[in-house]
Amino acid sequence: MVHKKALFSSAPKDVQVAIKERKEERFRGARIFGRKLIIISIIGIACAVFFAAYDGIRHNFTLWQFFLRFLIMYYIYKAFDIICFDWLLLTKSRFFQHYYPEIEGCESLEKFGFNRKSQIIIAPYTHGFAV
pLDDT given for residue 16 in this prediction: 74
* pLDDT given for residue 34 in this prediction: 81
First to last CA, the chain: 16
Write the CB contacts of 128 (distance below 8 Å, at least 6 apart in sequence): 74
Question: What does the alpha-carbon distance between residue 124 and residue 4 come to, in Å, rounded to a whole number?
Answer: 25
> Please, which pLDDT band fits residue 44 given cuts at 50, 70 and 90?
very high
**Closest Cα to residue 18, out of 30, 8, 33, 32?**
8
Q: Tell me the domain boundaries of the chain.
A: 5-126
What confidence category does residue 128 fall into, taking pLDDT thresholds of 50, 70 and 90?
very low
Task: Confirm if 70 and 52 have CB atoms less than 8 A apart.
Answer: yes
- Averaged pLDDT, 15-35: 76
Stretch 89-107: mean pLDDT: 75
Distance of CA 46 to the CA centre of its chain: 14
Ranges of H-type helices in the chain: 13-18, 30-58, 63-80, 95-99, 116-117, 123-126
